[in-house]
Amino acid sequence: MTDHLYIAGEWVKPSTSDTIAVENPATEETIDHVPAGGSSDVDAAVAAARAAFDGWAATAEGDRRAALDRLHTALSARSDAIARTVGLELGAPLKVARSIQAGLPLTVLRWYADALPESEETLGNSLVVHEPVGVVAAITPWNYPLHQVVTKVAAALAAGCTVVLKPSEITPLVSYLLFDAVHEAGLPPGVLNLVTGTGPEVGAALAAHPDVDMVSFTGSTATGRSIARAAADRIAKVALELGGKSANVVLPDADLTAAVKVGVGNAFLNSGQTCTAWTRMLVHESRYAEAVEMAAAAAGKYRLGDPFDEATRLGPVVSAAQRERVRAFLSRAEARVAAGGLDAAVPERGHFVAPTVLADVDPASEVAQEEIFGPVLAIIPFRDDDDAVRIANDSRYGLAGAVWSADEQRALAVARRMRTGSVDINGATFNPAAPFGGYKQSGIGRELGPYGLAEFQQTKAIQR
């Protein structure tokens, strides 16, 4: 049904015959086409969501959770197809596609299906009521094409909102598997709608639509600014999860082997196309040379190739444009290439970039300040803990980060001083129920868990 849109509980033909080609970045072949929806499709989807809102908002929380439970069951049955589809349209290696691209959204959906947050509370003589914000436009990126969708959609539906989804036009195919599951799960018509298309056409129409009460967007900081401006004209709520340039701080007493191995893996995850990637590794000057050598050796073990080959550890970047963007950064970098770089061998076919480690990087330089969104790690020395914090915070972004130390209290002290939305200490496990979001130009609002659900609610005080 990839030639259709999903509006008001039905697969419908788009208003235009225009389509968007979907490419396999590992082979550079076109694998499918999806509709290039237009403003009239947006109008129809928003109208369907508006018509469904009162009924869905009035549905008992237990019934909404039951609907999410049915959706989880239907989506789980498609997990193999999800992994394969993401492997095809994104180029994610199969291991990553299975565990993260398919597995993580199911974990998030399970949390919202099981969660029963309080819808009201008493504060003095006030009854504080948490109500759904209304019709939500969810605009999602290409790098985690199902996870970012489910993160928004599951929370919004659990809160009692109705949703119009615009997935990235670069990786839209996995959303069709989601909506197959939505249809099978029997969600009420209009509760969740799909309009594919470009950002300037469909995304802009959603952001500015007078019947959209909230826009939840994940993507670039530049696009986030445009969406915030469009929503501001009608004082609509926005939640923005934007770029990052996260620092991985390796203190002198850290387990250097673990810190470098995990740090390199985090920087190269999803071919470096991860907003939370620890793309700046900050290492104490006494251990800097050793860390660079270890990181270069680790990078050399990342085999590039066919995402469906179990031996592949690093797939392509998503497009020719993204590959050229990454290569342009490398061409301008004033740093020592410790591994990879522009001259490293890559497969002849596909949008591949060699896993690259840059040493002796100036903290103020472009590669230390800009989000490259490719498999590029910059390693920077520091003198002491204060210097490490200064360098880590010297960024317009503040999404994620890490600290490594044998002394957990020392690591915690550094983590508290980092101006960023999340920090992992000594490689701690990602918590999909913890609040996720950024400081500074990394965004507004939080996703995941109870904090993510709260973004899709209004709060009313009733005095009695």
**What are 315-330's pLDDT values in tens digits?**
999 999 999 999 999 9
From 169, 241, 447, 455, the catalytic residue: 241
How do strand 397-398 and strand 336-339 relate by DSSP bridges?
unpaired
Q: From CA 67, how far away is CA 446, in angstroms rounded? A: 24
Length of the chain: 464
The predicted model gives 397-409 an average pLDDT of 98
% of the chain at pLDDT higher than 90: 98
Give the DSSP letter string of 142-153: SSSTTHHHHHHH
The predicted model gives 254-274 an average pLDDT of 98
The predicted model gives 333-356 an average pLDDT of 97
Angle at 312 between CA 306 and CA 317, to 5 degrees: 60
- Say if residue 24's pLDDT is above 90: yes
From 275, 371, 447, 455, the catalytic residue: 275
Candidates 363, 352, 365; CA nearest to 388 is 363
Q: What is the DSSP letter of 429?
A: P
The predicted model gives 185-189 an average pLDDT of 98
Task: Say which amino acid occupies 259.
Answer: A
Tell me the per-residue pLDDT of 121-154, one tens digit each, with 9 for 90 and over.
Answer: 999 999 999 999 999 999 999 999 999 999 999 9
- Greatest distance between any 2 Cα atoms in the chain: 72
Average confidence score pLDDT of the chain: 97
Residue 195: phi, psi to the nearest 5?
A: -130, 115
- Contact 53/379 with Cβ under 8 angstroms? no
Start-end of H helices in 37-172 = 39-58, 61-76, 79-90, 94-96, 103-114, 147-159
- Say if residue 231's pLDDT is above 70: yes
- Say if residue 213's pLDDT is above 80: yes
CA atoms within 13 A on the CB side of 133: 24
- Say if residue 78's pLDDT is above 90: yes
- Say if residue 61's pLDDT is above 90: no
Candidates 396, 344, 345; CA nearest to 369 is 396
The predicted model gives 418-436 an average pLDDT of 97
pLDDT at 427: 97
Confidence of residue 115 (pLDDT cuts 50, 70, 90): confident
Query: Active-site residue 275, yes or no?
Result: yes
pLDDT at 117: 67
Confidence of residue 22 (pLDDT cuts 50, 70, 90): very high
Helix axes 173-185, 79-90, angle to 10 degrees: 160
